[in-house]
Structure 1
């Protein structure tokens, strides 16, 4: 059986990428043991890949008073499930398992976040995030104020919207390019690393 293609668009060999992307991709592959397919799929447009990864890192690689890195990943899983994005549900589900140290939470959130064991704060974040993902005009200032009532700062509230927006872009791009999730993601956080 042959592997499915990583993208409907060109996939540039690592050695042909600009040096900064080569370095980043090598670092990611060394750390995780594989290169996520979305990296390879985006790399054929280097400027856009750099911009995407820069915004991703700015939003996702931090803990703030109201949003931990695990919370941010839960938000991605819930909104990606609402957008029917298999790649992002599987890839970020693995990150939920690792960052939340919970082997089951990502699956529960992906199937029905309303039944998942979320704190009241995270439940409020996910509820607003999913609404923003599927019906953005229904989200009002009152929902943003409610998030502040759960302890989110002004920056945290912005991050909720920015994360949902970034992953709406990501969800649609991986659909557009037909990027499959790496098999390795399915085991991350479920099976001890060898």
Structure 2
């Protein structure tokens, strides 16, 4: 079987990374058990890698009453599915399964979020997010007001727009570079931790 290249663009050897990125990448690989391909793909442009991951962390590594960390991941899954981004659907679907403690929810949202077993609040969130991803000019003040009616604060509403917009960039970059999802993502959150490798080798 022919091995799929990680990216269409150059890959920077790990020992040539700037010290701050090398430290971060090592922490991510240790915590996850592997280095997600998007990290490796961005390594050749260190300034952009720093900015990309800083924006990611600012949007995704916080939890509010209106938008949990799992909710934030499901926004990424739904909008990335609309943008046909395999990398982001698979990678963020894995994180969504873990954060939601639900092995099915990411697949349901990726295929048809309208039929997924979500709260009315999250249905409203994904209605607005997917509209923004598909047809930005179609989003109205009434759409934003509908989110407030479901308990989102002004900061939460802004986050819905920022997460959707940031991952629209990420989706397009993943398409442009032809990023392939790491195999490890496919089983994450589906089985008890530590059993993924055994299941993956069966068959």
Q: TM-score, normalised by structure 1?
A: 0.99
Is there any run of 5+ residues in structure 1 with no aligned partner, and where? none
The residue that corresponds to 1:17 in the other structure is 17
Matched, 1:123 2:123: yes
Number of residue pairs aligned between Structure 1 and Structure 2: 194
Distance in structure 1 (CA, Å) of the matches to 2:12 and 2:193: 29
The residue that corresponds to 1:147 in the other structure is 147
SS at 1:7 equivalent: coil
Distance in structure 1 (CA, Å) of the matches to 2:29 and 2:191: 18
Instruction: Give 1:2 shift.
Output: 4.2
Instruction: Give 1:65 shift.
Output: 1.9
The residue that corresponds to 2:81 in the other structure is 81
Matched, 1:50 2:50: yes
The residue that corresponds to 2:72 in the other structure is 72
Distance in structure 2 (CA, Å) of the matches to 1:20 and 1:2: 34
Distance in structure 2 (CA, Å) of the matches to 1:184 and 1:81: 19
Instruction: Give 1:43 shift.
Output: 1.1
The residue that corresponds to 1:90 in the other structure is 90
Deviations 1:137-175 (A, max 9, x none): 000111001100100000000000000000000000000
The residue that corresponds to 2:99 in the other structure is 99
Distance in structure 1 (CA, Å) of the matches to 2:30 and 2:100: 22
Deviations 1:48-94 (A, max 9, x none): 11001000000000001200000000000000000000000000000
Pairwise CA RMSD of aligned residues? 0.7
The residue that corresponds to 2:197 in the other structure is none
Q: TM-score, normalised by structure 2?
A: 0.94
Instruction: Give 1:99 shift.
Output: 0.2
* Runs of 4+ residues deviating >3 angstroms: none
Is there any run of 5+ residues in structure 2 with no aligned partner, and where? 195-203
